[in-house]
Structure 1
Amino acid sequence: MGREALGKCPVCNNETTITRITCEKCNTTIEGRFDLCKFCRLTPEQKLFVDVFIKCRGNIKEVEKELGVSYPTVKNKLEDVANALGHKSEEAPVEETNRKEILDKLYEGEISVDEALELLKG
């Protein structure tokens, strides 16, 4: 089994496209321009969250326990995945959502104070 296709370019962070598909059994090769599914474009962290969320059948309390994070962090991670899949929320203004997400990442130790301040400046 090969490696997982990268959904984002590691150099410029732009979305990638698959140009060749090969069958390992019969060695058939198809060349063209193939888009990745929207789930393939998630970051490894987002994929892990989706896996845990599904494993826990959407029970946020169970997701909290499994990941060892707070309720707001689970909600933010869910919002992040939903946004990455193209489902934009209309509940809160984007600025407020981003601000809360940055503060939660700071609280969880995922980013430093300096990084948080820089992100909050916009």
Structure 2
Amino acid sequence: MRIISNKILNRCPVCEHEMIITNLACNNCRTKIEGEFLPSKFCRLPQEQIEFIEVFLKCRGSIKDVEKELGISYPTVRNRLDSVLQTLGYGTGKAEIPLESTNHQNILDALEKGEITPEEAAQQLRKVKR
């Protein structure tokens, strides 16, 4: 019996708590190991971040190439990279960004992706300033 899976389930589909691995088995010799094992921190990343990491690695870490591949701006690439680093538990090496700046960036990212119109972006930016 061959089991193919794209990703380990790391959250319970019923209660959303983190799951542990309790059984490992060799598909060749049928050796089984039981215990409590945590999945790697990479298994815990959301699919969107995994896809970003794959593009980043494919581009050999060149932010300019990632920009071209994903069709996003330099600041958006940096924000996504910082988000992955924080999810993995690494500091980004920069001072904490004020919430207002983060909101501005989210609005600009949505505008860049075509998710909102320029008018909607302007309206949202005015609300953030209040």
TM-score (normalised: structure 2): 0.72
User: Distance between the aligned counterparts of 2:49 and 2:14, measured in 1?
Assistant: 20
Q: By how many angstroms is 1:87 displaced? A: 1.1
Mapping 1:66-81, distance limit 5 Å: 66-81=69-84
Partner residue of 2:99 out of 55, 72, 95:
95
Q: Which shows bigger deviation, 9-18 or 25-34? A: 9-18
By relative contact order (CA 8 Å, sep 6+), the higher-ranking structure is: 1
User: Distance between the aligned counterparts of 1:16 and 1:78, measured in 2?
Assistant: 26
Q: Which residue in the other structure is 2:47 paired with?
A: 44
Q: CA RMSD in A?
A: 2.7
Any unmatched runs of 5+ in structure 1? Answer: none
Q: Which residue in the other structure is 2:31 paired with?
A: 28
Partner residue of 1:16 out of 11, 14, 19:
19
State the aligned residue count: 115
Identical aligned residues as a percent: 45
Any unmatched runs of 5+ in structure 2? Answer: none
Q: By how many angstroms is 1:102 displaced? A: 2.7
Q: Which amino acid in 1 is paired with 2:86?
A: N
Partner residue of 2:65 out of 58, 62, 70:
62
